[in-house]
């Protein structure tokens, strides 16, 4: 019988490393040793500030107290993303969390929506999303467990200071028995017989041995690529962004409960309001703009005084060919990077951790198990990749070489099929339970960027459309009335003890 894993070494103390440490220690308890090694000299990326609702499940899994977590990380609540200038230069739409107002009398929302729209009996999509209503008016509430409540579809995530999140998790982990080691790894030593990693060597000569290594070393992928040469699948031909500049600025107005993404000459700019400051960044493609011009664009589009010099970051979109190889599992940036448009990196760290716990190995490391993990997680990453590519593909812009390039670039076959099915008759589908983005998300972006169906499934016309229209109107009014009674975002955070 193979032995259970007795020792785990997490290499890297960025968001991915500390999330992995907290979740793994929670699962193995006293049965295995969990250590984390990080280097203060190398530092972390520290710019992951926007999340998606699954972060709530993760924080619950590792038993974080929500109010304490929010105070510690200066967090605010996120209800979705506002996209400015993505379809046409002067267009805007909102991609909300949660569902569109589907009630028992409304049947399938998209089909009914298009049938009503054709007859001029439906408003904008936003009118049927409780999260969009609250976001537009800066109001905040809590999800209700009662399926009849307007707030049952009120899904939320967070914006937080990624540096503070890492520090907070580090403190939590210290109290739960994770050993932290400070030091820089200078060598990764593999077993000659099978290439498994045996130990790593620190600059001061110390060696660290483990049964299982979790590579959280960021873009460098010290173990998974540096030692094991797992290979990288480059997606630049579909996702050409390769640089970013990030800069915090002073807070000048009430905190918005949503991320803003504004299209610029050769990419897009984010705006993320935290309790104490606003995070900003310009994500761009260096083939279409130089760094100085990008810096100038970013700095001239801040709504408060810049609090630091813009920080440059470089990346290549894509993913590690083997996310798990031998006894090394890569998580976070060491496993790949899609780009931050839909705030999915921290989500993918979390999915990687959950899948690892589901595929937890023994010291025999079954190849079937490793292959299963790689196939499953790889597919989940690709589905998210397609959704992000959609935003570029669906642009109508032709005002700069960058936008012309992304509008006309080839897209993966898997995405072509989805876009064509939608264009043909408004058909939306999810590829299995593991796909993160819902039909509502696909609909928000396609309709928001004016990919509109030529027709709709004729079965929807058999409904009593006056009755369906009345149901839609009832929902719109109920959402408006519910939001009227909610406090402002900032007042809500203070009432709940979440404000630092």
Give the one residue of 73, 278, 317, 343 binding ligand FAD; rule: CB under 6 A.
343
Q: Could you tell me which residues are beta bridge partners of residue 362?
A: 4
What is the per-residue binding string for ligand FAD in 171-190, x denoting contact by CB under 6 A?
-------------xx-----
Closer CB to ligand FAD, residue 162 or residue 411?
162
Give the one residue of 216, 377, 388, 445 binding ligand FAD; rule: CB under 6 A.
216
- Binding segment for ligand FAD among 117-125, 144-152, 333-341, 376-384 (CB under 6 A)? 333-341
Backbone dihedral angles phi then psi of residue 44, each to the nearest 5 degrees: -120, 165
CA angle (297, 317, 292) in 5-degree steps:
20
Closer CB to ligand FAD, residue 52 or residue 469?
52
Question: Is position 345 an interface residue for ligand FAD (rule: CB under 6 A)?
Answer: yes
**Is 244 within 8 Å of 283 (Cβ atoms)?**
yes
Closer CB to ligand FAD, residue 184 or residue 290?
184
Annotated active-site residue 171? The verdict is: no
Question: Is position 350 an interface residue for ligand FAD (rule: CB under 6 A)?
Answer: no
Q: Identify the sign of the CA torsion 128, 388, 384, 310.
A: negative
By CB under 6 A, the residues from 277 to 296 that bind ligand FAD are 281, 283
Q: Could you tell me which residues are beta bridge partners of residue 328?
A: 213, 325
Give the one residue of 8, 9, 47, 106 binding ligand FAD; rule: CB under 6 A.
47
CA proximity to 334, closest of 483, 194, 420, 230:
230
What is the closest distance, in whole angstroms, from the C-beta atom of residue 366 to ligand FAD in the complex?
Answer: 26
What is the DSSP secondary-structure string of 72-137? HHT-EEE-EEEEESSSSTT-EEEEESS-----TTT-SHHHHHHHHHHTT----GGGG-HHHHHHHT
What is the closest distance, in whole angstroms, from the C-beta atom of residue 362 to ligand FAD in the complex?
Answer: 26
Closer CB to ligand FAD, residue 98 or residue 267?
267
Q: Could you tell me which residues are beta bridge partners of residue 336?
A: 319
Q: How far, in Å, CA of 21 to CA of 177, rounded?
A: 10
Distances (CA, A) of 27 to 173, 356, 434: 13, 11, 22
What is the per-residue binding string for ligand FAD in 155-174, x denoting contact by CB under 6 A?
-------x------------
**Is 277 within 8 Å of 249 (Cβ atoms)?**
yes
What is the per-residue binding string for ligand FAD in 75-94, x denoting contact by CB under 6 A?
--------------------
Question: Is position 274 an interface residue for ligand FAD (rule: CB under 6 A)?
Answer: no
**Is 255 within 8 Å of 273 (Cβ atoms)?**
yes
**Residue 486 in tokens:** 């909610």
What is the closest distance, in whole angstroms, from the C-beta atom of residue 203 to ligand FAD in the complex?
Answer: 8
Please pick, among 25, 56, 74, 78, the residue that the annotation labels catalytic.
78
Give the one residue of 61, 299, 313, 354 binding ligand FAD; rule: CB under 6 A.
313
Which residues are the active-site residues? 78
Q: Which residues lie near ligand FAD (CB under 6 A)?
A: 12-17, 37-39, 42-51, 162, 184-185, 216-218, 220, 222, 244, 246, 281, 283, 313, 315, 332-334, 340, 343, 345-346
């Amino acid at each position: 019988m193979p032995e259970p894993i007795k020792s785990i070494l997490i290499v890297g103390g960025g968001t991915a490393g500390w999330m992995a440490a907290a979740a793994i220690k929670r699962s193995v308890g006293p049965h295995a040793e969990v250590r984390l090694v990080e280097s203060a000299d190398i530092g972390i990326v520290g710019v992951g500030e926007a999340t998606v609702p699954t972060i709530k499940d993760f924080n619950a899994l590792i038993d974080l107290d929500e109010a304490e977590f929010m105070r510690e990380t200066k967090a605010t609540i996120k209800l979705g993303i506002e996209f400015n200038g993505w379809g046409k230069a002067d267009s805007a739409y909102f991609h909300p969390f949660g569902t569109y107002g589907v009630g028992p009398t409304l049947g399938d929302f998209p089909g009914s929506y298009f049938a009503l729209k054709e007859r001029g009996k439906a408003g904008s999509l936003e009118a049927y999303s409780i999260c969009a209503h609250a976001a537009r008016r800066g109001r905040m509430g809590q999800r209700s467990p009662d399926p009849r409540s307007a707030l049952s579809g009120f899904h939320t995530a967070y914006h937080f200071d990624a540096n503070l999140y890492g520090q907070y998790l580090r403190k939590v982990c210290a109290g739960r028995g994770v050993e932290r080691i400070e030091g820089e790894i200078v060598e990764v030593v593999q077993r000659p017989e099978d290439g498994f990693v045996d130990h790593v060597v620190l600059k001061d000569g110390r060696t660290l041995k483990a049964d299982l290594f979790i590579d959280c070393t960021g873009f460098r992928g010290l173990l998974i690529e540096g030692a094991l040469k797992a290979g990288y699948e480059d997606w630049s031909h579909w996702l050409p962004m390769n640089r970013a500049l990030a800069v915090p600025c002073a807070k000048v107005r009430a905190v918005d409960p949503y991320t803003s993404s504004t299209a610029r000459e050769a990419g897009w700019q984010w705006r993320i309001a935290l309790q104490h400051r606003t995070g900003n960044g310009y994500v761009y493609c260096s083939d279409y703009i130089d760094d100085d011009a990008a810096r100038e664009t970013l700095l001239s589009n801040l709504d408060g005084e810049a609090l630091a010099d813009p920080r440059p970051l470089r990346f290549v979109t894509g993913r590690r060919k083997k996310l798990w190889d031998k006894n090394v599992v890569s998580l976070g940036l060491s496993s790949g990077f899609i780009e931050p448009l839909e705030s999915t990196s921290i989500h993918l760290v979390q999915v990687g951790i959950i899948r690892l716990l589901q595929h937890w190995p023994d010291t025999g490391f079954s190849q079937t198990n490793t292959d299963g993990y790689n196939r499953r997680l790889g597919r989940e990453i690709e589905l998210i990749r397609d959704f992000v590519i959609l935003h570029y593909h669906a642009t109508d812009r032709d005002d700069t070489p960058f936008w012309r390039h992304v509008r006309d670039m080839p897209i993966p076959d898997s995405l072509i099929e989805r876009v064509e099915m939608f264009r043909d008759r408004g058909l939306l589908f999810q590829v299995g339970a593991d796909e993160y983005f819902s039909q509502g998300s696909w609909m928000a972006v396609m309709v928001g960027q004016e990919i509109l169906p030529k027709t709709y499934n004729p079965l929807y016309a058999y409904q009593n459309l006056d009755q369906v229209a009345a149901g839609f109107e009832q929902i719109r009014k109920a959402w408006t009335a519910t939001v009227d009674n909610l406090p402002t975002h900032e007042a809500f955070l203070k009432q709940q003890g979440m404000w630092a």
